[in-house]
């Protein structure tokens, strides 16, 4: 994606570049996230980043609290030649 003319590249105070993160959630979930960020006195972006950074993950990168969908799939009985 090309840059917008005249827009500076956005970076964190430590110089690390910022990246856009988007997703669609229920309205109630958005309200809850905005309320939590407001109560903490931080931006919604900072709140989401803090949540993601707190996730403990397994060796495959899957959060420990989330069961991977792949684990639920059974192997197909394929015949080999």
Q: How do residues 20-73 score in pLDDT, each as one tens digit?
A: 999 999 999 999 999 999 999 999 999 999 999 999 999 999 999 998 887 556
For the chain, how many structural domains are there in total? 1
Q: For residue 27, is it within any domain?
A: yes
The pLDDT value recorded for residue 37 is 97
Q: For residue 43, is it within any domain?
A: yes
Which range marks the domain in which residue 26 is found?
Answer: 10-60
β-bridge mates for residue 17, sequence order: 11
Ramachandran region, residue 31 (left: φ > 0; alpha: ψ -120 to 50; beta: rest):
alpha
Q: For residue 42, is it within any domain?
A: yes
Q: For residue 37, is it within any domain?
A: yes
């Amino acid at each position: 994606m090309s840059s917008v003319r005249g827009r500076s590249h956005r970076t964190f105070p430590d110089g690390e570049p910022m990246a856009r993160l988007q997703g669609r959630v229920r309205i109630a979930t958005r309200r809850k996230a905005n309320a939590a960020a407001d109560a903490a006195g931080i931006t919604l972006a900072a709140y989401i980043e803090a949540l993601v950074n707190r996730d403990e993950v397994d060796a495959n990168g899957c959060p420990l609290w989330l069961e991977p969908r792949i684990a639920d799939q059974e192997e197909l009985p394929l015949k080999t030649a």
